[in-house]
């Protein structure tokens, strides 16, 4: 047991009359109060403003750590981002390979078709001078406004005056060709 615990036990015990050493007790009290006074004097006290600032800083740190913990469930780690990025690249590569395969096979089909037509024409007697084979088929991508795909905007209807003018022009051109 420490000296302090012994002192506490002795002070809490019942002391018989006449056996109490009052001088010793006063001396202990003086020692304790002197110890507390020196601790109080040596300790630097913070101003109220500094105490409030420190409290605000600690509360802000606690709050930011709490927010970070909450958001960590919704956030993807770097490994997850890399994994999904690799999946996207792999799918893009597969689509590109499929497009190249289809283009190559389409060209081969067109060549064979042209050869078959040339062979048939050779049998029938008339030989075509030249058969055109498309070099490469490129798929045009239509730029969509705001990245919205699948939305079709209707064209504005033409005014009735434009429609009647076109009809009149068509009638006059037909009558000129027939005469």
In the predicted structure, residue 75 carries a pLDDT above the cut 60:
yes
Check residue 164 and give its pLDDT: 77
String of DSSP letters for the chain: --HHHHHHHHHHS---TT---HHHHHHHHHHHHHHHHHHHHHSPPPPHHHHHHHHHHHHHHHHHHHHHHHHHTTSPPHHHHHHHHHHHHHHHHHHHHHHHHHHHHHHHHHHHHHHHHHHHHHHHS---S-----S---PPPPPPGGG--S--PPPPPPPHHHHHHHHHHHHHHHHHHH-
In the predicted structure, residue 78 carries a pLDDT above the cut 90:
no
pTM, entire model:
0.32
């Amino acid at each position: 047991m420490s000296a302090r615990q012994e002192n506490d036990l002795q002070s809490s015990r019942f002391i018989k009359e006449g056996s109490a050493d009052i001088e010793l007790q006063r001396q202990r009290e003086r020692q304790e109060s002197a110890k507390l006074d020196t601790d109080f004097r040596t300790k630097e006290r913070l101003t109220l403003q500094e105490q409030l600032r420190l409290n605000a800083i600690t509360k802000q740190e606690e709050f930011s750590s709490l927010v970070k913990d909450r958001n960590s469930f919704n956030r993807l780690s770097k490994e997850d981002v890399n994994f999904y990025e690799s999946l996207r690249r792999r799918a893009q590569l597969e689509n590109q390979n499929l497009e190249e395969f289809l283009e190559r096979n389409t060209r081969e089909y067109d060549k064979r078709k042209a050869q078959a037509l040339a062979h048939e024409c050779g049998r029938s007697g008339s030989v075509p001078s030249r058969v055109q084979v498309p070099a490469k088929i490129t798929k045009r991508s239509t730029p969509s406004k705001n990245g919205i795909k699948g939305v079709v905007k209707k064209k504005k209807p033409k005014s009735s005056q434009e429609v009647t003018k076109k009809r009149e022009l068509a009638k006059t051109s037909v009558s000129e060709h027939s005469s």
